[in-house]
Amino acid sequence: MNTSTECTTLLKNGLLVDGSGAPGWQGDLLISGERIAALGAPGTLPCADETVDCTGMVIAPGFIDVHTHDDAAVLDAPGMLPKLSQGVTTVIVGNCGISLAPVVTGEPTAPLSLLGRRQFRHARMADYAQAVDAAHPGVNVAALLGHTALRMRYMDDLDRPANEQERTAMADAMQEAMDAGALGLSSGIFYKQAYAADLEELTAVACVAARNGGVYATHIRDELAGIIPALHEAAQTARQAGLPLVLSHHKCAGAANWGRTRETLPLIESLAQGQPLGMDVYPYTAGSTVLRTDLVDGMIDILITGSQPHPEMTGRYLKDIAREWGVSETQACDRLQPGGACYFQMRQDDVDRVVTHPLSMIGSDGLPHDERPHPRLWGTFPRVLASYWRERGLLPLEQAIHKMSGLSAARFRIAGRGLLQAGCMADVVVIDPQRVKDTATYEQPVQFSEGIERVWVNGVLSYTSARRSTGARAGRFVRRSSTGQA
């Protein structure tokens, strides 16, 4: 019998896949309080307050969603069922240059409006971290500071590079964020609000992240025809600043670009020989972002996920709206703005190459504030397991889980998570390997996945397939570790 004050839970007779990429093995796992106390062969661990029979199940580290825009969602809807129901126990926010801190406004414009419209009141990263802890979200939250957010806070003209005074203000804000525990810097120079930023501006901020052991995640300038120079630019920025690079949601977008992962991935491999480099990816052929006329090419399908002037068009395809209105797709896109859309920009073989590449991690890139979100918000992680492991055999189970846990924690320097090891935080998911799959679709995107049986966050049972949420919200703001390696 447990004589300590900490509750213990024994997960027995499951396939332990520890997140490192090593082969799984049959065994038991003991949770004590908020940490993993021990792992051992079946029947070798002490009795516990509660025992869960995991026969036929996979026991894995809770998944880390490395690319989210959940910054405000963890405050507005802290139950975080879209993520818990996938086995996600930690989300990384502040991607693509977009973060709540340090912007203070009641009327956020694109692309900050992707985070919703209510929570832009955190002048410092420390304020945001305090708000997260006060909200007690269902998942852990780690944060990047967004470069676009810095521009919109400190610059009066976004159509030029930052001047010396503005660079200094951005660097000071970056230092405050790192002191508060941020993982590093993100940028999104793909968006017009940051497109004018030059290397001097980016490195001025990135160098601060580097001095404090941070990382640099970037939505590169061009994922279409100009993807090769954009990749070189991202690598140069990180190399010059002296910090690890993560390429956000790597893709070759647009019909004219299909097949070019045969070109981009060897380049990325080559760049990785000279600097720390990784990338994230979601397992879908459509992306999702704000409505932009420059992404309307008359070739790809575009599904409207929201429109402020025409909310009745949510869930319809742009080509059908244009036909109904008797205008071109570009004109229809103009009328619908501001809004959002899913862009069916990628080809399946390109997505497969990136998902299965050794340097890639899994990130959902979901937009929780869309009226009709991309299905990746609810389905990304089970989709990887169902499609890439069980159904098509493109990844071994251990590698699929590594891409969603151990590799992610190492790349982003999050200590004590992403692995099943004694002493690690007890972020744990139990998976039915024969049933796990995503059910969210573009037509019905808000759907629970199947086969995610139980999820513990910091040792607290937070989700079960039978009850959905347990009502527990055990997440917290997670600060980077001083060391980390992929």
**Burial call 266-296: b when 16+ CB within 10 Å, e when fewer:** eebeebbeeebbbbbbbbbbbbbbbbbeebb
485 CB neighbour count, 10 Å cutoff: 8
Confidence at residue 482, expressed as pLDDT on a 0 to 100 scale: 60
As a whole number, mean pLDDT of residues 51-78 equals: 98
Confidence at residue 467, expressed as pLDDT on a 0 to 100 scale: 86
User: What is residue 233's DSSP assignment?
Assistant: H
Confidence at residue 6, expressed as pLDDT on a 0 to 100 scale: 87
Share of the chain above pLDDT 70, in %: 98
Q: How far apart are CA 33 and CA 425, in angstroms?
A: 9
Confidence at residue 391, expressed as pLDDT on a 0 to 100 scale: 98
Confidence at residue 443, expressed as pLDDT on a 0 to 100 scale: 95
Using CA atoms, how far residue 184 sits from 146, 218, 249, 387, 478, in Å, is: 9, 11, 17, 32, 13
Q: How far apart are CA 353 and CA 359, in angstroms?
A: 11
Dihedral pair phi/psi, residue 457, rounded to 5°: -120, 120
Q: Lowest-pLDDT range, 298-302, 359-363, 478-482?
A: 478-482
Q: How far apart are CA 30 and CA 461, in angstroms?
A: 13
Q: Which residues pair with 437 in a beta bridge?
A: 450
Cα within 13 Å of Cα(62), Cβ side: 30
| Tens digits of residue pLDDT in 398-414 | 999 999 999 999 999 99
Confidence at residue 379, expressed as pLDDT on a 0 to 100 scale: 98
Share of the chain above pLDDT 90, in %: 96
- For 193-197, the CB contacts below 8 A with 24+ separation are 193/109, 193/110, 193/111, 193/148, 193/151, 193/152, 193/158, 194/97, 194/147, 194/148, 194/151, 194/158, 195/221, 196/158, 196/159, 196/160, 196/161, 197/147, 197/151, 197/161, 197/162
- 235 has a pLDDT exceeding 90: yes
- 116 has a pLDDT exceeding 80: yes
Provide the pLDDT confidence category of residue 1 given band limits of 50, 70 and 90. Answer: very low
Short-list 241, 248, 207, 244, CA closest to 227: 248
Q: Which two three-digit tokens encode residue 382? A: 């089970």
As a whole number, mean pLDDT of residues 104-118 equals: 93
Confidence at residue 481, expressed as pLDDT on a 0 to 100 scale: 78
Confidence at residue 4, expressed as pLDDT on a 0 to 100 scale: 46
Provide the pLDDT confidence category of residue 371 given band limits of 50, 70 and 90. Answer: confident
Short-list 304, 289, 307, CA closest to 223: 289
| Tens digits of residue pLDDT in 316-338 | 999 999 999 999 999 999 999 99
Residue 413 makes CB contacts below 8 A (sequence gap 6+) with: 183, 213, 214, 215, 480, 481, 483, 484
As a whole number, mean pLDDT of residues 72-76 equals: 98
| Tens digits of residue pLDDT in 241-275 | 999 999 999 999 999 999 999 999 999 999 999 99
As a whole number, mean pLDDT of residues 29-35 equals: 98
As a whole number, mean pLDDT of residues 99-122 equals: 95
Q: Looking at the chain, how many residues does it have?
A: 486
Q: What is the value of pTM for the model shown?
A: 0.96
* Mean of per-residue pLDDT scores for the chain: 96
315 CB neighbour count, 10 Å cutoff: 14
